[in-house]
């Protein structure tokens, strides 16, 4: 059973040696199904709206002291997007300036192959979730570093399909 309450507060928040928050994000993805329910090769990714506006991004949030980076990625995807799945190998780490605080944050991004989409999740009343194709998501995503992570994910998937 998944926890249906978001964590809040900064008591367990991780910070890097420069004082910037360490955040973890996830790119939830799946393959589109045709009208007969057969899985196609067309990739879809899930974006969520920000809490206080209409900006779109991938689920992300603080990495806390009592969890691994992969556990943080799973938790953020559940809290913000209401999805569960398989966390895959890290896409990379980015340093970016926090718009709110003006200091560098450290962001880690992971792909998640979605196995289940919940009808109820902790931030359901705070966010919209939208499945998009890669081009739409790249255009809509607010953060440059998340767009770079999406590009890496697409290249990884294309490379693995070419090896088959």
Average pLDDT score over residue span 92-120 = 92
pLDDT tier at 127 (50, 70, 90 boundaries)?
Answer: very high
pLDDT at residue 126 tops 90? yes
Reported residue count of the chain is 164
- Answer whether 133's CB lies under 8 Å from 44's CB: yes
Residue 41 belongs to what H/E stretch? strand 39-49
Average pLDDT score over residue span 12-33 = 92
Rounded Cα distance between 120 and 31, Å, is: 22
pTM summary value: 0.89
Q: How far is CA 132 from its chain centroid? A: 13
Lowest-confidence range among 21-35, 107-121, 143-157?
A: 21-35
What the chain holds in terms of domains, given with CATH numbers, is 22-162 (3.90.79.10)
Rounded Cα distance between 2 and 157, Å, is: 28
Q: How far is CA 98 from its chain centroid? A: 17
- Answer whether 73's CB lies under 8 Å from 83's CB: no
Rounded Cα distance between 57 and 46, Å, is: 9
Rounded Cα distance between 41 and 160, Å, is: 12
């Amino acid at each position: 059973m998944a926890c249906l309450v978001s964590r809040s507060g900064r008591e367990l928040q991780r910070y890097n040696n420069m004082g910037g928050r360490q955040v973890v994000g996830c790119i939830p993805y799946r393959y589109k199904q045709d009208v007969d329910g057969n899985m196609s090769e067309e990739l879809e990714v899930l974006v969520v709206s920000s809490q206080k506006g209409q900006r779109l991004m991938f689920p992300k949030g603080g990495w806390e002291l009592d969890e691994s980076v992969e556990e943080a990625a799973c938790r953020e995807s559940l809290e913000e997007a209401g999805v569960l799945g398989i966390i895959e190998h890290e896409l990379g780490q980015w340093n970016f300036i926090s718009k709110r605080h003006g200091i560098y944050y450290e962001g880690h991004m992971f792909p998640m192959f979605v196995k289940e989409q919940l009808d109820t999740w902790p931030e359901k009343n705070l966010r919209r979730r939208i499945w998009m194709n890669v081009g739409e998501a790249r255009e809509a995503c607010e953060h440059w570093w998340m767009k770079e992570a999406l590009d890496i994910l697409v290249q990884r998937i294309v490379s693995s399909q070419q090896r088959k």
